[in-house]
Amino acid sequence: MAALMVAAGALGACQGGAGTGAGLAPGAPAGAAAGTAVAEAPVARGPFVAAANPLAVEAGVAVLRRGGTAVDAAVAIQAVLGLVEPQSSGLGGGAFMMLYDADTREVTAYDGRETAPASATAELFYEDGRPLSVPDAVLSGRSTGAPGVVAMLGMAQKEHGVLPWASLFTDAEQLAEDGFTVSPRLAGMIAVNRGQARSRWANAYFTRADGTRYGAGDTLRNPAYAQTLRTLAAGGAEAFYRGPIAAGIAETVAEQPRPGALTEADIAAYRPIERGALCRPFRIYVVCVPPPPSSGVAVLQLLAMAEATPAIDAGPDSAEAWTAFAQLQRLMYADRDRYVGDPAFVGVPVQGLLDDTYVAERAALAPGLTGAAEAGNPPGGVFRAGDATNEVAGTSHFVVVDDQGNAVSMTTTVESIFGSGRMTGGFFLNNQLTDFSFRATDDQGRPAANAVAAGKRPRSSMSPVIVLDARGRLVGAIGSPGGPSILAYNAKALIGSLIWGMETQAAFDLPNLVARGTGVGADTDRFSPALRDGLNAHGITLRPNASENSGLHGGFWKQGPTGWGWDGGADDRREGVARTQ
């Protein structure tokens, strides 16, 4: 009974409890089997930083060295990422943050998702009575929502920071003023001959005086970004939402082609939301994610179905395990696409999607799937229109743990590569509103959960993860970019680490397999010939992944040869690092 009571306490701290917690065991290291007797683990503490660019990691570590908290470091990391990795995130975008408080053992979700302007209608992306193409919509001013990441970080830092806000932008400002070295990944994005990389704003930023584009190893300066950071440092997060920065955003959105209607009033009205985290038991752990409009509930549903699927336990070399993983994904995506949206506008059956009986019924369908799955009917769910969202990708993830044991797991984005391609103040504007369904209803007139509406937040696949033990103590923190594939990437990493007992880096480096609808995308070259043949024999034909690839970052608190410490990982598909000092 003690273990059950402990599990309930951990779930209560996350403000999202359900389930019995059976099989949980306090103090277990990641990878331990359920019921295994283990030595008491010390409390997890930092410093630990994992992010997609070494310059951002160094900025976070520097803040921790000065005695800053995980949230303090998150502000500095985001400021640098927006400069050196602008294709993925920035001040003009949004984010979801999971925060673990070591003193209270509470997990809080911060929602910094963008909002549609007050003038938005369900036909925001219609022209001449028909939906726009995705490229046309992305490049339009209509695609930009009121940015949320700065307000979200400001809220969290006021509540959980200890260093002066103004001191958190020093590294980013210096890099912007003096210049930073263009990385190979950024250079590859700059070289793209279409879309946002060739907007007039991007051309002005990425083209030298001699007409050539910046390449890997070149030094790129951004004095406008440095000035924006000075304004933020002096005026606080509020300075982003009123005054010259907000005016610049509204003016840029209103430019051709296809001007948008986001106003200074819309920007000033933006508010981040502090939400209770959504937590559920998984094996001997408790996994916590943000609630809707994040799709974290889908990750929890997939993990719950995996627990009911013995084939998953066969391990990373088993075609049966990978086949089961693909089939469970199809069920998960069908439900996510049908039901998840902004809870302020639509009822999302979170409890029904995670209901034990419903999960078991869904998992039982997996072995018989030969193609796309149909959405189910979870308790409390209202059957809605089939999804017509075309979610594109351009995102980043980072994790910070400070020396007190507080942790941040944060997924941050401008949506597509370089967002909408529009710039002001040295940063790109998001195209997050294209994460809405372009069609508000289906042919039967049923409404889509993710239809556009004034003030609404688009559904997001971003689902940063915090993992606890049964006593509510920090065990791990991970997350990934990848557009809709984020859900598959996070689940793969959690299954690899917590079921298959792999080291974090090895779990991150596992092949990616994404099965949504009739499509199957994969890192085909990372699957062995035997696994490819085995999957094909089960009807899973691997094709190259058409979505943004993974960028998993984070780690797990584990006992190693020299004692307990962070087993960190940085996805080798990106340019990041994981550091413990």
Which residues are known catalytic residues? 395
Residues 6+ apart with CB under 8 A from 444: 385
Residues 6+ apart with CB under 8 A from 232: 91, 150, 169, 239, 240, 245
Name the nearest CA neighbour of 241 among 231, 254, 255, 252.
231
Q: Judge whether 450 and 387 are in contact, CB under 8 Å.
A: yes
Q: Judge whether 419 and 92 are in contact, CB under 8 Å.
A: yes
Residue type, 158: K
Name the nearest CA neighbour of 333 among 367, 369, 295.
295
Whose structure tokens read 């440092």? 233
Residue type, 21: G
Strands (E), 149-297: 180-181, 219-220, 273-276, 278-282, 285-289
Residues 6+ apart with CB under 8 A from 357: none
| Helix, strand, coil content of the chain in percent (nearest 5) | 40, 20, 45
**Dmax of the chain from CA atoms?**
73
Strands (E), 7-93: 48-51
> In the structure encoding, which two tokens stand for residue 384, read together?
């809605």
Whole-number Å distance between alpha carbons of 497 and 126: 44
* β-strand partners of 558: 565
Whose structure tokens read 């938005």? 120
Whole-number Å distance between alpha carbons of 460 and 432: 9
Name the nearest CA neighbour of 393 among 370, 423, 416, 376.
416
Whole-number Å distance between alpha carbons of 42 and 581: 19
> In the structure encoding, which two tokens stand for residue 458, read together?
């688009």
- 3-state secondary structure at position 168: helix
Whole-number Å distance between alpha carbons of 249 and 262: 8
Whole-number Å distance between alpha carbons of 151 and 113: 10
Give the number of other CB atoms < 10 A from CB of residue 123: 15
136-to-40, 116, 431 alpha-carbon distances in Å: 56, 18, 11
